[in-house]
Structure 1
Amino acid sequence: AVCVVGNVAAFSVDVSRRDAFKAAIGGAMTAAVPAFLATQPASALVEEETPRIVTRMGGLLEPFQDGPRSIKMMVPSGWNKFEGEVGAYDIKWQDLVDPNENIKISSTPVKSTTASIGVLGDVKALGESLASKRSAKLISAEERQTDGILFYKFDFLISDGTHQLLQLCVCKGKLWSIDASAKDKRWGKREELYNNVLGSFMPKLA
């Protein structure tokens, strides 16, 4: 499955994130999805459940829920919130002082037969493929299962000095992406907060 990802222009400068994800799950890859899922359930890669993170970090995070989008998560207290920019994100939170410190959520529809992010192949191989397309270094790639949903999480150091966490999952007919960025020199002050935000994200309310 990983070889298909090589055709995906994910995160490239000339293709939006939304279009890239459509290319990743749709198109030529879609035909292989039903057969793959028939032989390998979404939970086959990760059997142990990891609880959803709900810490408030002493007030640094606060609960957020969006009924129409059916998502819930913890978000930074006091950050500016922006609603969708077509082709870029659905929701964004941005630090009041440094706009380089932000968290973005985006989603795109996928085929009804696509039940798990696992169809994109091994998490580390996918992370290396994404890193190579954006002049980035892959620091880590990990997977977890929370409430029956498989999540892939990547840690990238990009050539422009940006440090970014990226998390992907599939739920209820949508591919969800959440990324959290900051300049590398500030990463030590944001890493724990960002990891807790990503660990709290759940694309369903019940």
Structure 2
Amino acid sequence: MLKRTVSTLLVIFALFLTSCANTPTSGLVPFADSKDGYRFLYPNGWTETKGNSAVDVLFHDIIEPSENVSVAITKLQTVKTLEEIGDAEAIALRVQERVVAPAGSGRQAKLLNVTQRAVSDRNYYTFEYAVERAQGEPRHDLVTLTTNRGNLYTLSISSSEKRWEKVKELFSRVAKSFTIES
């Protein structure tokens, strides 16, 4: 009887430890848009809100409402693929100039990191920026983008600079989770 009880407790304890493991999806919730064909993970406890018309979907943290993740889909205008712009750093600088800190926006951005990954013959670029704003506190942004059928898909996740160290690993997992279905 004692052996059975101890064995049962060990199994329960092992299951508990397994559920507490830090996996790539722990602390994250899946989101999929079947109409537009993209998916990503977002932090548990965040809520979907209405954004402006340029944003397809927007989630924000309930406790820290300035932390948010959004996806925007736009038509490619001057190029058919991102690779026509150049290498990953050239793409990052174009995104910086046109999206993160365009002229007249009151923002200045510094490109901190550039990564590129390929999934099923599709390139995904993730750029990290430190963003200074004319009004308001400094921000930290991760922007992941890719193209599909003449559209540019952009996932942006943002935090205040003071909270960045606490959320950077979680936000990096969100940025890496962004994928497009062919």
User: Which range, TM-score by smaller chain?
Assistant: 0.7 to 0.9
Compared CA separation, residues 68 and 129, structure 1 to 2 (3 A) = closer
Q: Which has the higher strand share?
A: 2
Query: Is residue 144–residue 178 contact of structure 2 (8 Å, CA) maintained in 1?
Result: no
Residues 19-74 of structure 1 show CA distances to partners (whole Å, capped at 9, x for unaligned) of: xxxxxxxxxxxxxxxxxxxxxxxxxxxxxxxxxxx8322xx101221211211221
Deviation at 1:104, TM superposition (A): 0.8
Tell me how far apart the structure 1 counterparts of residues 140 and 170 of structure 2 sit (CA, whole Å): 14
> Residue 157 of structure 2: SS of its match in structure 1?
strand
Structure 2 alignment gaps of length 5 or more: 1-22, 102-107
Structure 2 counterpart of 1:193, one-letter code: L
User: Is 2:125 the partner of 1:152?
Assistant: yes
Deviation at 1:192, TM superposition (A): 1.0
How many pairs does the alignment contain? 147
TM-score, normalised by the number of residues in structure 2: 0.73
- For the aligned residue pairs, the C-alpha RMSD in angstroms reads 2.1
Residues 86-143 of structure 1 show CA distances to partners (whole Å, capped at 9, x for unaligned) of: 13x11011000112110010001337x82x3212212113323444662111111121
Tell me how far apart the structure 2 counterparts of residues 175 and 142 of structure 1 sit (CA, whole Å): 17
> Residue 159 of structure 1: SS of its match in structure 2?
strand
Compared CA separation, residues 132 and 74, structure 1 to 2 (3 A) = closer
State the partner residue of 1:56: 25
Moved over 6 A (4+): none
User: Is 2:54 the partner of 1:77?
Assistant: no
List aligned pairs for 1:45-194, cutoff 5 A: 55-57=24-26, 60-87=27-54, 89-110=55-76, 114=80, 116-131=81-96, 134=101, 135-160=108-133, 161-194=138-171
Query: Is residue 117–residue 152 contact of structure 1 (8 Å, CA) maintained in 2?
Result: no
TM-score, normalised by the number of residues in structure 1: 0.65
* Larger of the two Rg values belongs to structure: 2
- The higher relative CO (CA closer than 8 Å, separation ≥ 6) is in 1
Query: Is residue 33–residue 39 contact of structure 2 (8 Å, CA) maintained in 1?
Result: yes
Q: Percent identity?
A: 26
Structure 1 alignment gaps of length 5 or more: 1-53
State the partner residue of 2:18: none
